[in-house]
């Protein structure tokens, strides 16, 4: 499934799980410019789990507001898996959420920080603290890259939420 409907369905699934678990979510976006937050807030009842978002388009905002390490930004640039992970952890901390999502990348038309158009990193930071990420190498136009990045971020989060539930179930049943 592609397009806005797929992202909307992912957003609804994510929010449904979060609400059932009594957990919250915050999002830090760069290349997607608020599109992840828009998908989430397009779901009725999103306010039960969604705390808010930061559109950290400028590198200085990533560092100053979200706490992304300045040395990492200086050495590797803003398009980096570590930056996505620190964005996710930073927005989680900043907005007091159980889960955080970070997205950074190059939607085009130009290369950024030595990274080609279509290079995207999405990450999720959860209650356990450590961020898990995914690298994408997308093709197409700017709109398509941004749209696919939203779907990837929501898909990664949904996978982490499902995995987290399984881990909790295993712990509660004595590891069986």
**Is 37 contained in some domain?**
yes
Distances, alpha carbon 135 to alpha carbons 94, 149, 152, 164, in Å: 24, 10, 9, 21
Distance (Å, rounded) from C-alpha 157 to C-alpha 147?
16
**Is 145 contained in some domain?**
yes
**Is 92 contained in some domain?**
yes
Radius of gyration (C-alpha) of the chain in whole angstroms: 16
Host domain of residue 84: 4-169
**Is 175 contained in some domain?**
no
β-pair partners for 133: 123
**Is 64 contained in some domain?**
yes
pLDDT digits (tens, 9 = 90+) for 25-75: 999 999 999 999 999 999 999 999 999 999 999 999 999 999 999 999 999
Q: Name residue, tokens 């999502």.
A: 101
**Taking a C-beta distance cutoff of 8 angstroms, is the pair 40, 27 a contact?**
yes
CATH number of domain containing 128 = 3.90.950.20
Q: Name residue, tokens 């992202």.
A: 7
Domain total in the chain = 1
Q: Read off the pTM.
A: 0.92
């Amino acid at each position: 499934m592609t397009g806005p409907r797929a992202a909307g369905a992912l957003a609804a699934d994510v929010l449904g799980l979060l609400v059932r678990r009594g957990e919250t979510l915050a999002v830090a976006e760069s290349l997607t410019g608020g599109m992840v937050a828009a998908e989430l807030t397009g779901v009725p009842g999103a306010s039960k789990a969604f705390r808010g978002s930061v559109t950290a388009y400028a590198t200085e905002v990533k560092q100053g507001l979200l706490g992304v390490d300045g040395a990492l930004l200086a050495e590797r640039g803003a398009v980096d898996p570590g930056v996505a992970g620190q964005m996710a952890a930073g927005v989680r901390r900043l907005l007091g959420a159980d889960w955080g999502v970070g997205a950074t990348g190059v939607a085009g038309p130009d290369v950024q920080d030595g990274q080609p158009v279509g290079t995207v990193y999405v990450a999720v930071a959860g209650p356990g603290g450590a961020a898990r990420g995914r690298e994408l190498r997308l093709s197409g136009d700017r709109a398509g890259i941004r749209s696919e990045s939203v779907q990837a971020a929501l898909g990664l989060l949904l996978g982490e939420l499902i995995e987290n539930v399984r881990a909790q179930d295993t712990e509660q049943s004595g590891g069986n």
